[in-house]
Amino acid sequence: MCSKKKEIQLDGFKLEGIINGNYKGYLYLNYNDKKDSCMVVNNKFHFEGKTSSEIVYSAHFSTNRTAAMDKNFFIENEKISMEITIVNRKI
């Protein structure tokens, strides 16, 4: 007989992270046609939310400056930790 341990799933996601570099201002999280924001304090950020059922969404960050993120990432109802780098570039 084979049994599978049921994993405990959060009711939503908790995304915490650290920003490399010196960034002050808001960080925006974009996923599933939603846009959330948080103030970066001491190079740390925190978002909480909920995705629909078992669906995993592609997400990306943006800032209050003209910026684009090189890579999307996936977000689901779990605890997520990440480290990102924001680079100022002249156009």
Higher per-residue confidence, 38 vs 8? 38
pTM: 0.74
pLDDT-derived band at 62 (thresholds 50, 70, 90) equals confident
The residue-averaged pLDDT of 36-57 equals 85
- Please report the pLDDT score of residue 4 as a whole number: 38
Residues near 65 by beta carbon (within 8 Å), at least 6 away in sequence: 25, 88
